[in-house]
Amino acid sequence: MNTQNKTMKMKRFVTAALCLLLSAAVFGQDAPEALRPPKGSQVAIVVFEDLQCPQCGRVAPLLAQASKTYKIPLVQHDFPLPMHNWSFDAAVMARYFDTHSKEVGNEFRDNVFAHQMEITPQNLRQFEEKFAADHKIALPFVVDPDGKLAAMVRADKEVGVGLKIDHTPTIYIVSGKHTGKPYVEVTDTNQLYIMIDAMVKQ
CATH of the domain at 56: 3.40.30.10
Does residue 171 belong to any structural domain of this protein? Answer: yes
Decide if 97 contacts 108 (C-beta within 8 A).
yes
| pTM exceeding 0.85 | no
Does residue 24 belong to any structural domain of this protein? Answer: no
Does residue 23 belong to any structural domain of this protein? Answer: no
Does residue 61 belong to any structural domain of this protein? Answer: yes
pLDDT of residue 29: 44
Domain enclosing residue 65, as ranges: 32-201
pLDDT of residue 93: 98
Does residue 1 belong to any structural domain of this protein? Answer: no
The total number of structural domains that make up the chain: 1
Does residue 8 belong to any structural domain of this protein? Answer: no
CA dihedral 74, 79, 81, 82 (to 10 degrees): 160
Does residue 50 belong to any structural domain of this protein? Answer: yes
Alpha-carbon torsion (172, 173, 175, 180), positive or negative? negative
Does residue 164 belong to any structural domain of this protein? Answer: yes
Rg, the chain, Cα only: 22
Query: For 37, which DSSP code?
Result: P
pLDDT in tens, the chain (202 residues): 555 555 554 444 434 333 333 333 333 446 799 999 999 999 999 999 999 999 999 999 999 999 999 999 999 999 999 999 999 999 999 999 999 999 999 999 999 999 999 999 999 999 999 999 999 999 999 999 999 999 999 999 999 999 999 999 999 999 998 878 999 999 999 999 999 999 999 8
pLDDT of residue 4: 54
Q: Label residues 18-43 b or e (16+ Cβ within 10 Å = b).
A: eeeeeeeeeeeeebeebbbbeeeeeb
Decide if 108 contacts 95 (C-beta within 8 A).
no
